[in-house]
Amino acid sequence: MEEHRMILKDVFGESSDSEDDEQLKQQIQSEDPNGDGQSQLILEKSPSWERVSEINGLWICRDLLSPQQQSSLLSSIKDEGWFTEVSHNQAMRFGNLPAWAIELAKLIREVVHYIDHDSEFVDITTCCDDKDASFFPSNLFWREPLFDQLIVNVYQPGEIIAMTVLASDYVQGICAHVDLMRFEDGIAIVSLESSCVMHFTAVESEDGIIGKQSGIDPGLAKIPVHLTPGSLVLMRGEARYLWKHEINRQPGCQTWEGRDIDQKRRTSITLRKLCPNE
């Protein structure tokens, strides 16, 4: 995987989305991680996991959060005061995360624990090939903290958020990108409010599909993944390094099972872990 990372740096450079060095060096937040009282984020029912068969390391947990938990989480985000201006649609935090983000990370660790250790919920020996047999490797699962970087994006219908400086024609949503190499493996994305379709495309280099070194079919088209409110996406390994992901909200691009998705406001929460010395 280290070889893949070096190739990606040659293709994308040090940065592969719109977060530049100034943003990444912003002052570490000093919020009290225990100042918001007891969290309402608890595992209310058995997690329902789905593996995207075409992409090693891409998993979806449906209904991670109940409607009540989603509402509570949105209220916590609103209380931060990050989006009081219409022009403000993204907030980034490093280091000491807000209490609700820490609790969300704990919940993610709990649902990962279910799939890795309880065959009642999923038999990973029947749904994973050899290279994907470990759902979330122990070196990722037990790292402390599990995540120390947070991005909250609020997408309004028709709004453009460019996630890569390489794209010339920005789409409504997020442009195809691989997350920065300065973040470790294992990235979590929680979707709130409007549902959407996220498309995955194999990364290309000058020599063609990087993924062919790992057996990825270079003829694969975009792989659509339906993200519903309250769902969790986990990307690790090939899914994190060898596949670009994007959300194109232009008319005709947001369809699922032959029907157009009603485009309303969507909020996403991305949790990542900075590499050492970053």
2 domain residue, yes or no: no
Domain that residue 114 falls in? 50-118+135-207+220-272
For residues 117 and 224, which has the higher predicted lDDT (pLDDT)? Answer: 224
Q: Higher model confidence: residue 241 or residue 22?
A: 241
pLDDT of 33 > 50? The answer is no
Does 178 reside within a domain?
A: yes
Whether residue 156 is contained in a domain is answered as: yes
Q: How far apart are CA 69 and CA 265, in angstroms?
A: 18
Query: Does residue 129 carry a pLDDT above 50?
Result: no
Report yes or no on 83 lying in a domain. yes
Whether residue 225 lies inside any domain: the answer is: yes
* Average model confidence (pLDDT) across the chain: 76
Q: 243 pLDDT exceeds 60?
A: yes
Q: 253 phi and psi, to 5 degrees?
A: -90, -25
pLDDT in tens, 165-186: 333 333 447 888 999 999 999 9
| Residue matched to tokens 């980034």 | 92
Q: Across the beta sheet with 243-248, what order do the strands follow?
A: 173-177, 243-248, 196-202, 223-227
Q: What is the CATH number of the domain that holds 234?
A: 2.60.120.590
CB 112 within 8 A of CB 234: yes
Report the number of distinct structural domains present in the chain.
Answer: 1
Q: Report d(CA 233, CA 187) in Å as an integer.
A: 8
pLDDT at 209: 57
The answer to the question of residue 125 being in a domain is: no
Of 26, 10, 9, 5, the residue nearest 278 (C-alpha): 26
The model carries a pTM of 0.77
Any domain includes 6: no
| Residue bearing the bigger pLDDT, 135 or 271 | 271
Q: Which residue has the higher pLDDT, 140 or 221?
A: 140
Is 175 domain-assigned?
yes
